[in-house]
A and B are shown apart, each in its own frame.
Chain A
Amino acid sequence: MKLSIARSVAATMPVGQLAALARERGLAGVELRGSDLDEARAVGEALGRVVGIYVEALDEVRSEATMRASALLSAPVVAARGVVPSEQIPTLDAAYAAAGAKLLVTHGTDVEEVALLASALDEAKARAIGSAWEIRPATDPLSDVPAILMASAEILAHVRLHGGGPELRYEDAPSTGDLFSSLALSRYGGAVAMMPSSPEYAEGWESWLAGKIKNGCGTAYEKKKKREEASDRELDIRSVQPKHRLDTILSAYRALSPGRTLHVTFDHDPSCMYYTLDAMEPKDSFTFVKNGEGPDVWYADVTKHER
């Protein structure tokens, strides 16, 4: 799967800047809107990979300019849910095939909708049309995910994910683990374009993309370090970015005085921390007690033994 971002992450940012930030973030590419195409053309090669061109009107789907852009950018046109009537699929299939372009018709997390689309695409003999799946994990019936993946196995080429990004750290972030495990095991290799799950979250996304989300944990830690070296320590790892968590925990543990305890608060099962300390620290140098069984908060008390 190719993790990407959609235009709505930063709707007013210049397209070239958005693409550059996505690259710096290690993302595969950007899903643009049809209205971005003129700007995208001006940016040229520096744009990097476009994973889709999202359009919301049938006229846009049928326009030759859209098809030409799809062929030029090697990016499928992703037609919004409900925009393409199934009786037009054979005609559009022929037109897209002739233009060397690709069209994806979007469905939701709805097994019946996917089955109807799959049978309509059977009539698309030129195979220039596939499907895109729009997922809203917060509200969609995720128990239907396996059935949807089975019904769309031959046609699915794009996923539009409402959520991800900075929203993963919100306490009410929906559990998408099974969804991603199922996608992986189905050997899905297309794009997963993330976008804000609601407009009110859009601002958080822009800062996330720009890497501006920092938290005071590290600095606060430095200030408190001197004071607390000789006492028990508390560390709430939930506000630390995942990539910095291990270093934060290890340095807090290593700064701990013998006989003292580090109380850590987690938003995941801390067993991995036990195995890591066990592998990296001298044998029998600490005691690890895990408290809580989630689902949202776990605690661990790590006591450093007296030497």
Chain B
Amino acid sequence: MANGIELDIRVVPPRDKHPTIFKTFDALASGESFVLINDHDPFPLRYQFEATRNGQFSWSYLEQGPEVWRVSIGKS
């Protein structure tokens, strides 16, 4: 299927959420992006990206609640 990469993290147990997101991000080629879907604002994750992958990622909100947040996370 020729779709973009969409990762709905709502279906992943809490202990696996961030590792799954970083695993998906790390598998991207440079210039690729994925859409992260969550049931709350994932801004703590952004701080973690800034601390561990500083300068390597872009972050833009496509939808901000109240039930669903969608963030496009790109790899530079």
- B15 & A296 in contact (Cβ 8 Å cutoff): yes
Instruction: Please name the residue on chain A nearest to B51 by beta carbon.
Output: A275
Interface of A is mostly: mixed
**Are A1 and B40 touching (Cβ within 8 A)?**
no
User: A272–B27 contact, CB under 8 A?
Assistant: no
A218 adjacent to chain B (CB < 8 Å)? no
Contact B15 A3 (CB under 8 A): no
Q: Is B5's beta carbon under 8 Å from chain A?
A: yes
Cβ A26 vs Cβ B47 within 8 A: no
* CB neighbours of A189 from chain B (8 A): 1, 3-4, 6
Q: Say yes or no: is B48 at the interface (Cβ < 8 Å to chain A).
A: yes
- Note all chain A residues with C-beta closer than 8 A to B24: 181, 184-185
Q: For the complex, what is the distance from the CA of A51 to the CA of B74, rounded to whole Å?
A: 29
Q: What is the CA–CA distance of A272 and B14 in the complex, to the nearest angstrom?
A: 12
User: Does B7 lie within 8 Å of A187, measured CB to CB?
Assistant: no
In the docked arrangement, what's the CA distance between A80 and B3, Å? 26
* 8 Å CB interface, B32-76 against A: 34, 37, 39-40, 43-45, 47-48, 50-51, 67-68
**A168: interface (CB < 8 Å):** yes
CA–CA, A279 and B17, complex, Å: 21
From known contacts A168-B12, A296-B15, infer whether A187 and B40 are also in contact, taking CB-CB under 8 Å: no
Given A181-B7, A243-B39, A279 and B50 touching (CB < 8 A)?
yes
Chain A residues whose CB sits within 8 angstroms of the CB of B1 once the complex forms: 153, 156-157, 187-190
The count of chain B contact residues (Cβ–Cβ below 8 Å) is 36
Q: Which of A34-42, A172-180, A283-291 contacts B (4 or more CB under 8 A)?
A: A172-180
B12 touches A180 (CB 8 A): yes
> In the docked arrangement, what's the CA distance between A192 and B6, Å?
12
* A272 engages B45 (CB within 8 Å): yes
CA distance A175 to B6 in the complex (A): 19
When C-beta atoms are compared, the residue in chain B nearest to A189 turns out to be: B3
Whether a CB of chain B sits under 8 angstroms from the CB of A77 is no
- Contact between chains at A169 and B14 (CB < 8 Å): yes
Task: Report chain A residues within 8 Å CB of B4.
Answer: 187, 189
Residues on the B chain within 8 Å of A269, using CB:
15, 18-19
Query: By the criterion CB–CB under 8 Å, are A181 and B15 in contact?
Result: no
A214 to B37, CA, bound (A): 23
Q: Once the chains are docked, how many angstroms separate the CA of A268 from the CA of B12? A: 11
In the complex, are the beta carbons of A242 and B14 less than 8 A apart?
yes
A residues in contact with B2, CB < 8 Å? 187
A43 beta carbon closer than 8 Å to chain B: no
> B9 to A180, Cβ gap below 8 A?
yes
CA distance A169 to B17 in the complex (A): 12
Which positions 255-295 of chain A face chain B at CB distance < 8 Å? 266-269, 271-273, 275-276, 278-279, 294-295
8 contacts between A and B (CB under 8 A): A3-B10, A168-B12, A174-B13, A181-B27, A187-B2, A244-B40, A268-B18, A276-B48
List of 9 A-B pairs having minimum Cβ-Cβ separation, nearest first: A26-B67, A189-B3, A177-B16, A243-B40, A177-B20, A26-B68, A184-B7, A275-B47, A276-B44
